[in-house]
A and B are shown apart, each in its own frame.
Chain A
Amino acid sequence: MDAHLQCSQYPPHHFFGTRFVGQQMRAELEALLDRHENVEVDFTGLNATQSFIDEMIGVLVLRYGPAILQRLSFKGCNEDIQTILHFVVSSRLADYASNRALAAH
């Protein structure tokens, strides 16, 4: 069964800016990923910075690679959040690939 993470239920509710809050939301997301195959992350009604999205989502991509994206979907993203997600995920996928290449040497 899939799970749903409604971000606006968590403080600060409307604007998610810092890495500190990004870490907290990542912990919530990881707890759901431990118990469910897929998680829908719901950004409806809020805005966020690149730092927040990187800390919440980018770190997971860096740790687990592209496989984690098959378990995540994103709901209610405005244009800014969609764009930030593309930036964060594309650069973290590149970081993941380069870390793997380094580890192989």
Chain B
Amino acid sequence: MATHALPDQLTPDSVPFLACLDAIYQDPDVHITLDCSQVRFVTPFGLCLMATLFDWLEQEGKQATHIGLAANVGSYLARMNCLPEALAEPFVGPRNNRADALVEVQVISDRGEADMAAQKLAQAFVGRLPGTDPLAVPDEMTGLKPGEAEEEALAYIFTELIDNSLTHGRQHGFGNAKVWVAAQYYPGKGHIRLAVVDNGCGLLRSLKNHPRLADKTDIEAIKLALEPRVSGNRDVGLIDDSHNQGVGLSVSSELAIRAGGRVDILSGQGAVKKLRNALHTWPVPAWHGTAIEMTVFRKQLGGVRVSSLIRELPGYEQVGMLRFT
């Protein structure tokens, strides 16, 4: 029976975490033991990747056990719906009320569920945040109640990312790919982290025939996907009902950056971290799907307008023929 030791941090920039996952995916043994004794910090990205792993283990008929999981970490993973029922059982019990800061891991497998799920996620999350009052009077300038602008921005990010995953991730033989989402508010730092992870085909397969992808590597595919007006089927001359303008990921990521945040994307053997003025890349052990974590500062999120981001996109023009009443 193989034992796999998870590192202390299950976060986007933890290469040991991704190496451990890769080793588990490669392990032919039916019995998988996770040594969790070092685990101390897990972000929504880590939660979703772990949930994806447990789903895969179940699909493959493998049996997972864990050793050394600290009570506080186990309780957190259990309440975030990250662990399968059998593994979560020892940790289910009295626990701190963190409803104002946590959105548990959810799985979305039906495209028809995506809009409602994303909207509910954003509503539930913002509604729980301190300082939001659904009965508050709307601001005279914006017409928005406290929290509404944050909710709309989060709904925008969630829906675009989930839609991308369920549309592009399901190509090339991954028609049954699913999406895992989770989010957390960290009041001490004032930021929100949200993650959207799919077990689909990955960005390189989705973009492999793109004329602008000269270097067919995962890192270059991620970098290309972050550019506006690039998608798996926009620029390749296809005419069908779902050809894409290729701005969903770029607008969502720019929304996060303008809200003082960062974007982490993992796909295949590539990882990219986007900050306001920098793009960092590094190779990682293989992961066939796409995992995205966006970090935004809550106080800045409500001040970012989608309209200002759209106006900056290449090709934006006012159309005189449009009639508004």
Bound form: Cα–Cα A18–B156 in Å: 10
Say if the beta carbon of B23 comes within 8 Å of chain A. Answer: no
- Does A19 contact B242, Cβ atoms closer than 8 Å? yes
Interface size on B, residues (CB 8 A): 44
Bound form: Cα–Cα A59–B162 in Å: 21
- Does B323 contact A72, Cβ atoms closer than 8 Å? yes
Identify which of residues 114-130 in chain B touch chain A, using a CB-to-CB cut-off of 8 Å.
114-116, 118-119, 122
Contact for B116 among A12, A80, A93, A99, CB less than 8 A: A12
Interface size on A, residues (CB 8 A): 45
B318 CB to closest chain A CB, in angstroms? 5
Chain A neighbourhood of B311, CB < 8 A = 83, 87
Say if the beta carbon of B305 comes within 8 Å of chain A. Answer: yes
Bound form: Cα–Cα A54–B229 in Å: 13
**Closest residue on chain B to residue A51 by CB atoms:** B248
**Closest residue on chain A to residue B122 by CB atoms:** A15
B163 CB to closest chain A CB, in angstroms? 4
Known: A73-B323, A74-B325. A50 touches B315 (CB 8 A): no
- Does B155 contact A85, Cβ atoms closer than 8 Å? no
Bound form: Cα–Cα A7–B208 in Å: 37
A17 CB to closest chain B CB, in angstroms? 3
B227 CB to closest chain A CB, in angstroms? 15
Chain A neighbourhood of B306, CB < 8 A = 80, 83-84
Bound form: Cα–Cα A59–B244 in Å: 10
- Does B251 contact A50, Cβ atoms closer than 8 Å? yes
B156 CB to closest chain A CB, in angstroms? 6
B248 CB to closest chain A CB, in angstroms? 5
Report which B residues bind A (CB closer than 8 A): 111-112, 114-116, 118-119, 122, 152, 155-156, 158-160, 162-163, 166-167, 229, 239, 241-245, 247-248, 251, 305-307, 310-311, 313, 315-319, 321-325
Report which A residues bind B (CB closer than 8 A): 11-12, 14-21, 23, 40, 47, 49-52, 54-55, 58-59, 62, 66, 69-70, 72-75, 77, 79-80, 82-91, 93-94, 99
